[in-house]
Amino acid sequence: METDKQLFGENKQSNGRCNEPKHVKDIKAESKNANGHPNLIQATFQKMFHLDVPDKPKSTKSSSNTSSESEEDKGESNVPRGEKRLSSTTAGSKLRFQKLPTGSHAHNLQPSKRAHRVSAILRELGFISHNHYEEQTQPSHSNASSEKSSRSECSFAEKYGTCREIIGKGAFGIVRIAHKAEAKTPGGKLFAVKEFRRRHNEPTKKYIKRLTSEFCISSSLHHLNVIDTLDLMQDTQGKYCEVMEYCAGGDLYSLIVASGGLELEEADCFFGQLINGVKYLHDNGVAHRDLKPENLLLTAAGCLKITDFGNGECFRMAWETQAHLSRGVCGSEPYIAPEEFTGNWFDPRLVDIWACGIIYMCMITGRHLWRIAKWQEDGQYRLYTEAKADGRVLSQFQGLNNGRRRVMNKIIEPNPKLRVTAEQITQDSWFAKIVICFRPLSTGSSGVAGTCCASSHQESVLSNNYNVVS
């Protein structure tokens, strides 16, 4: 579920590099294309899983549609990685993405057994950044603590059922599925349970502040495209668990890896949902600061949910009118906006917008645009900035129609002063034409952001509610 894995390459977290197994490095060395850009999907699948992953054919528009094209729809006959991605699906099988005669579409994202296997192997290969912390030895329990553990276990089981298999790992800890039998619900109800790992030698107060800050932000947000956070509880070992709604479709990262890139309309739908969710966050004074495909969950029907607010911050309280600026680097490097590396103050909303553009390009190309948005360190990013300065189009953008290209140019804008906001994106003519499966009834601000900032008062309130021991 929520993980710190990195997409398709040897990327690094802002807090340091992760060591990679030799066989992963060998695969990466073999998978460089003519431009020196890594495409690990095909090489990894073929060499490690013995799967046949052919290159995707490039798409061409049918002649019947040519005459009815608008100016914005022109120019996508050469879409990167191809628009037709499901041609190899066997007859009779249910399509992952299906266009309907009505002009709408349907998603079918029930993860297959192979997808689970691939995801598990990718995790073991190091495509997740594993920041392991030694588990502290649990002291022997007294009678009183045993009673407390028994009560905690009973309370959790009564509310959310029994925790089962692990579905996600990361520096924070693990995520399990909890199953609760219900007479009214055939097969019972599923929840995602995030177990917060206490870092080695981390003071109790800092541990509590870290997890309660995330909980206070996520539990205060209520939107169709934001994960529903239900509870914060302690397990029998004293670890804190955050209970969330379960998304059966997995995460966007796994979908991109399994498909090698999404269909344009499919990517548009997810992008539209992402922008709607981000706009809601920003309207309520919250910046995510770590948007990436791993932190975007999907229901089986294709509803996108923003999750993992571990790096989230409140840039404006409910009673304030001016946004507070941020400083410092956080997140995963391919998605980090260039202004974060300058050491200067910046608007946290605009770094979220930058990440949305990178995510969209990942969806349609199946790869990153670059490893890091630093002119001196990344040749791909340097070529991009030079192309923008000269008024040329980046090769990855050349297959996009005018509308998509225009919006991506405004989103992936190195100068944050020229970058568009979520509000401006939703008002764009191309965005207005996107067929989005799931739209919230209301996208207005709920004014809940005033409860989202961790403080001593917040810790006191949570201590009373969850028996936190400082």
Q: Among candidates 104, 457, 438, 172, which has minimal Cα distance to 280?
A: 438
Q: How many CA atoms lie within 13 A of 260 on its CB side?
A: 22
SS (H, E, C) the chain: CCCCECCCCCCCECCECCCCCHHHHHHHHHCECCCCCECHHHHHHHHHHCCCCCCCCCCCCCHHHHCCCCHHHCCCCCCCCCCCCCCCCCCCCCCCEEECCCCCEEECCCCCHHHHHHHHHHHHHCCECCCCCCCCCCCCCCHHHHHHHHHHHHHHHHHHCEEEEEEEEECCEEEEEEEECCCCCCCCEEEEEEEECCCCCCCHHHHHHHHHHHHHHHHHCCCCCECCEEEEEECCCCCEEEEEECCCCCEHHHHHHHHCCCCHHHHHHHHHHHHHHHHHHHHCCEECCCCCHHHEEECCCCCEEECCCCCCEECCCCCCCCCCCECCCCCEHHHCCHHHHHCCCECHHHHHHHHHHHHHHHHHHCCCCCCCCCCCCCHHHHHHHHHHHHCCCCHHHCCCCHHHHHHHHHHCCCCHHHCCCHHHHHCCHHHHHCCCCCCCCCCCCCCCHHHCCCCHHHHHHHHHHHCCCC
What are the b/e assignments for 212-241, b being 16+ CB within 10 Å? bbbbbbbbbbebbbbbbbbbbbbebebbbb
Whether the CB-CB separation of 230 and 245 falls below 8 Å is answered with yes
**Per annotation, catalytic residue among 290, 347, 352, 378:** 290
**Of 237, 5, 248, which Cα lies nearest the Cα of 108?**
248
Q: Which residues are annotated as a binding site for ATP?
A: 194
73 is a catalytic site residue: no
Q: What would the two tokens of residue 208 be?
A: 């509590």
> Which residues are marked as active site?
290
